[in-house]
Amino acid sequence: MPSAVENVSKYLERIEKDKTNSFIEINKDAIRDAKAVDKKPKKGKLAGLAIAIKSNINVRGLHATCASKTLESYVAGYDATVIERIKREDGVIIGMTNMDEFACGSSGETSAFGHTENPAAKGRIPGGSSSGSATSIAANLCDISLGSDTGGSIRNPASHCGVVGFKPTYGLVPRYGLIDLAMSLDQIGPFARDVKGAATMLEVISGFNVKEGTTLKANNGYAKNLNPDISGYKIGVVEEFERLTDHKITKEIDKSIKKLENKGAEIVEVSLPNLEAGLPTYYLTVFVEFFSATRKFDGRRYGKKIEDVCGREVLRRILLGKYISQKEFTGKYYKKALQFRSLIKAEVLEALKDVDVIAGPTVPKLPHKLGGEIKDPLVMYAYDVLTVPANLAGIPAGVIKAGEVEGVPVGLQIQGKPLGEQKILNVMQAFEGAAK
Amino acid sequence: MKTIIGFEIHEQINTPTKLFCDCPTTYREVEPNTNICEVCTGMPGSKPFPVNQYAIDAAIEIAMMLNCEIIKDPVYIQRKHYNYPDLPSGYQRTSLPIGKNGNLLGVGIWEVHLEEDPGKYDPVTGKVDYNRSGVPLVEIVTAPEIYSAKDGRNFMRELVKVLSYTGKVRTEGGTMRMDTNISLEGGRRVEIKNINSIRGAYKALNFEITRQKNLMKRGKSVKQETRAFLESQMITKAMRAKEEADDYRYIPDPDIPPLLVFDEKIESIRAIMQEAPHLKEERFAHDYGVKADDANILASELELANAFEKIAKEVDPKFAANWIRDELKRVLLYNKKTFKESGIRHKHIVGLLKMMQRGEITAKTGQKVIEIMGEKPGDPQKIVEELGMGKITKNDVLETAVDEAIKENKKAANEYLGGKGEALNFVVGAVMRKTKGRADPATILKMLKERLEK
């Protein structure tokens, strides 16, 4: 075991030479923090590990810019609850990662600090919005990172970069200190190179927070209880996925599911008839909640008014949110979205009723080439069709690299029942073993 | 001309912590921006804590005291968006109704709900103090069922009494804020904001009624608008036309699960809830046979009403009620204190009234004792002993005083003997002065008559 200082120094050197633009800010005190860990006689679960944090999570003393000019000079005055928990387990915060501005996007191109490169597929977008948190794992610039997932922002870049990413059950991980995109959908979750790493981080950050209205009283020893024996597991496959997904990706996913079957799992067909309604439901919710969440960036406290300096996608969402939340549209958009959300949630839970997990693709298409920015928002939003249902239903979902298509990683998405994290992680670990 | 008035009243709940965080609510006693945290200043990423339970319970109790039905469906906390420097997040959190369809003095109570106070913005310096930001408020909205400024004042007095009975709102002055809606027959509805006292409400309503009547007299129409009450000048001034009303874009706050009030909660509050003051008045009149006006005064303060009920067990209730109304209230008013603040205990009053009933002290002395107690509460027996105010009955002191008074008031004495009976009262007064009120007037009169007529 290298010391914390050795471990952190190694990564700092690598970051120095890195060309992926994964980080917006490096923690100048990382070595000092690592020294403090080395001095401790009794060390925590993350002792000396270098942890990268998405730039929409508050880490005291570091910039929580959300990759936006709006917050370019905002230095966090407090630690998010997840950061407190990481520090308590002796993880060392190495820096703040690049992202789509205010987590609005799934390409990694909308950052005010420049786009992020995909180290696993040169010339392609890394996915987003937690772009830098995924690429910092793929480029070996840290041990574990944190991202946030509102409609796929952890799973999408995990898929495109070929790393492990995990979006927990809504409420399992405290959001206190996470800068909002859509409060009813946002969840913080880990990226890691292996399932064990993600499970360990999940174990550290999950559990009830007394200072928050929406956390759940649950936390299992996810890493401790990892068990790759999935014989007897029922794994659902969704018939609607195929029609929406690039057939080359489907082929790769089918091969992966076959591997799970070989591990003793039983494959069961399930259906999500309203799958595509997830997109409008999701985006209407995001627009309204994001509009509300950004009212505090009025230029009085954080330097710049958001509408004056933000990028096109952020502005589009604010203006749409402002438009559809008007009194005259009460009941027409947001309320309808909430109603539809209940419907989709019920449908997802129904599909999960008789299976342990659902396995399938993460993103329906391969990541596009950098510079080929998609101008039509509807085309762009369609990339999220397979990831938003988990957020709308509040269920957990993990992504692990299934294989490659034309040299580009594609991720296998495993979705489970509310608080069914352990089974998802078990399936992922079984797959990890089979893939080796 | 028919006048229609409705009120929206905001009162701060007297909880030690804010509605969505643990910061203290003592915003006035401390330096600006010291009772703050990332929650009540809306720092990026902060989330509201679970809603302050004391504040929820207080709002339920107030709603129940106002005879409201308590909402059993999920009560959402909404975000009310508007842009003002005192709002750190660009929205104010305000709950949907916790209670609905109540009434007080025949005026409908439309709803009772919870909300958070914003910070304090000083337009002159451009500075904002967030100490107040997040302090819990209860808002009470009445139906437009008040028909004169005077009725408005009576309603507000009764409402303040009800609120003080609950003991759940801040009682120090200046924390109440109200808006009022007023319309005259044939005119549009005008909203007046920025009213901070019952007196202010009365003045604002009277001003507004006169203003609107004058407009109509001159054949002009009354616009639908929002006006501000300027306390210093006792006038209202146009703020903005209602037509361009803000769109607050209400949404349920996704960070806060809706409140759910269960029957057990309602029952547990009912068990500790005070009897409403107007019901208490009725009961006092019925059970103790006190006059309606006296009952009103006795019920004006919960602690006083409770003290009265204890006193009435030991002393004739009518005598006690009378004396409390005339003497105790006079002393409390003079000292500008509530009964509770005065520190006077019911047993002291019982002691004092009994001494008077037993003839140990005169009514005059009783007045003096309660005046002393008003400034320095204590056992009346001791006060009387220490100051030597026990009643003077037949003794040398009294006889000497009577003799002197006759000598010094020969003219009055002669008039009495000449058949002018009331002239003797003057001499009685002189004796009272000489004995400092410690002698019984009836005894003095009797002695004077004996002395003069023999």
Interchain pair A295, B255: CB under 8 A? no
CA distance A237 to chain B (A): 32
Angle value at C-alpha A88, between A86 and A90, nearest 5 degrees? 75
Query: Which pLDDT value is given to residue B410?
Result: 82
Q: pLDDT-derived band of residue A82, with 50, 70 and 90 as boundaries?
A: very high
Q: Which two tokens stand for residue B330?
A: 């006079």
Q: Considering only CB atoms, which chain A residues are within 8 Å of B257?
A: 213-214
Q: Give phi and psi for B146, each to the nearest 5.
A: -115, 135
Buried b (16+ CB within 10 A) or exposed e, B211-222: bbeeebeeeeeb
Neighbouring C-beta atoms of residue B234, cutoff 10 Å: 14
Q: Considering only CB atoms, which chain A residues are within 8 Å of B47?
A: 175-176, 211-214
Report the pLDDT averaged over residues B313-331. Answer: 93
Query: Which pLDDT value is given to residue B21?
Result: 97
Three-state secondary-structure class, residue A38: helix
Neighbouring C-beta atoms of residue B15, cutoff 10 Å: 20
pLDDT digits (tens, 9 = 90+) for B52-94: 999 999 999 999 999 999 999 999 999 999 999 999 999 999 9
Residue among A330, A384, A119 at smallest CA distance from B249: A330
How far apart (Å, rounded) are the C-alpha atoms in residues A71 and A63?
Answer: 8
Would you give the DSSP letter of residue A392?
H
Top-level class of domain A1-436: alpha beta
Dump the DSSP string for A247-313. Answer: HHHHHHHHHHHHHHHHTTPEEEEE--TTGGGHHHHHHHHHHHHHHHHGGG-BSSSSSSBHHHH--HH
Q: pLDDT-derived band of residue A436, with 50, 70 and 90 as boundaries?
A: low
- Between these two residues, A197 and B236, which has the higher pLDDT value? A197
Neighbouring C-beta atoms of residue B403, cutoff 10 Å: 13
Interchain pair A213, B50: CB under 8 A? yes
Query: Which pLDDT value is given to residue B401?
Result: 84
Report the pLDDT averaged over residues B308-330. Answer: 94
Interchain pair B249, A326: CB under 8 A? yes
Interchain pair B44, A322: CB under 8 A? no
pLDDT digits (tens, 9 = 90+) for A46-75: 999 999 999 999 999 999 999 999 999 999
Instruction: List the single best residue of A72, A82, A178, A183 to mutate versus B (max B Cβ within 10 A).
Output: A183
For the cut 90, the answer to whether the pLDDT of residue B307 exceeds it is: yes
Work out the mean pLDDT of chain B and round it to a whole number. Answer: 91
- Is the bond preceding residue A129 a cis peptide, omega within 30 degrees? yes
Q: Considering only CB atoms, which chain A residues are within 8 Å of B118?
A: none
Nearest CA in chain B to A286: B254
Interchain pair A296, B88: CB under 8 A? yes
> What percent of chain B has a predicted confidence (pLDDT) above 90?
70
Query: Which pLDDT value is given to residue A361?
Result: 98
Contact between A194 and A432 (Cβ < 8 Å): yes
Q: Which of A109-118, A144-153, B26-35, B244-253 has the least mean pLDDT?
A: B244-253
Q: Which two tokens stand for residue B99?
A: 């209670």
Report the pLDDT averaged over residues B363-376. Answer: 89
Interchain pair A183, B255: CB under 8 A? yes
Q: pLDDT-derived band of residue B438, with 50, 70 and 90 as boundaries?
A: confident
Angle value at C-alpha B365, between B360 and B369, nearest 5 degrees? 105
Buried b (16+ CB within 10 A) or exposed e, B418-446: eeeeebbeebbebbbebbebbbbbebbee
Ramachandran category for residue B135: left, alpha or beta (phi over 0 → left; psi -120 to 50 → alpha)? beta
pLDDT digits (tens, 9 = 90+) for B145-190: 999 999 999 999 999 999 999 999 997 777 789 999 999 988 889 9
User: Touching check for A325 and chain B: CB below 8 Å?
Assistant: yes
Interchain pair B251, A295: CB under 8 A? no
Buried b (16+ CB within 10 A) or exposed e, B370-389: bebbbeeeeebbebbeeeeb
Query: Which pLDDT value is given to residue B393?
Result: 63
- Between these two residues, B19 and B454, which has the higher pLDDT value? B19
User: Touching check for B245 and chain A: CB below 8 Å?
Assistant: no
Instruction: List the single best residue of B39, B41, B43, B93 to mutate versus A (max A Cβ within 10 A).
Output: B43
Would you give the DSSP letter of residue A179?
P
Interchain pair A213, B81: CB under 8 A? no
Q: Considering only CB atoms, which chain B residues are within 8 Å of A288?
A: 251
Contact between B24 and B132 (Cβ < 8 Å): no
Radius of gyration of chain B (CA): 29
Enumerate the H helices of B376-439 as residue ranges.
380-387, 396-408, 410-417, 423-434
Query: Which pLDDT value is given to residue B286?
Result: 94
Q: Give phi and psi for B30, each to the nearest 5.
A: -120, 165
How far apart (Å, rounded) are the C-alpha atoms in residues A144 and B163?
Answer: 55
For the cut 80, the answer to whether the pLDDT of residue B301 exceeds it is: yes
How far apart (Å, rounded) are the C-alpha atoms in residues B225 and B222?
Answer: 9
Q: Which two tokens stand for residue A4?
A: 């914390």
- Between these two residues, A436 and B301, which has the higher pLDDT value? B301
Domain residue ranges in chain A: 1-436
Query: Which pLDDT value is given to residue B243?
Result: 47
Q: Considering only CB atoms, which chain A residues are within 8 Å of B126?
A: none
User: Touching check for B45 and chain A: CB below 8 Å?
Assistant: yes
For the cut 70, the answer to whether the pLDDT of residue B245 exceeds it is: no
How far apart (Å, rounded) are the C-alpha atoms in residues B127 and B104?
Answer: 40
Domain residue ranges in chain B: 3-268, 275-387, 396-453
Q: pLDDT-derived band of residue B411, with 50, 70 and 90 as boundaries?
A: confident
Query: Which pLDDT value is given to residue A98?
Result: 98
Buried b (16+ CB within 10 A) or exposed e, B240-272: eeeeeeeebbbbbbbbbbebebeeeebeebeee
Query: Which pLDDT value is given to residue B450?
Result: 82
Nearest CA in chain A to B51: A213
Interchain pair B254, A78: CB under 8 A? no
Query: Which pLDDT value is given to residue B258?
Result: 96
Contact between B112 and B99 (Cβ < 8 Å): yes
Give the fold, CATH level 3, of B396-453: Arc Repressor Mutant, subunit A (1.10.10)
Q: Which of A62-71, A76-85, A280-289, B428-437 has the least mean pLDDT?
A: B428-437
Q: What residues 203-232 of chain A have any CB closer than 8 A to a CB of chain B?
A: 210-214
For the cut 80, the answer to whether the pLDDT of residue B342 exceeds it is: yes
Contact between A402 and A412 (Cβ < 8 Å): yes
- Residues with Cβ within 8 Å of B32's Cβ and at least 6 positions away in sequence, in order, are B127, B129, B131
> What percent of chain A has a predicted confidence (pLDDT) above 70?
100
Q: pLDDT-derived band of residue B394, with 50, 70 and 90 as boundaries?
A: low
Q: Considering only CB atoms, which chain A residues are within 8 Å of B119?
A: none
Q: Give phi and psi for B437, each to the nearest 5.
A: 80, 5
Active site residues of A: 54, 129, 153
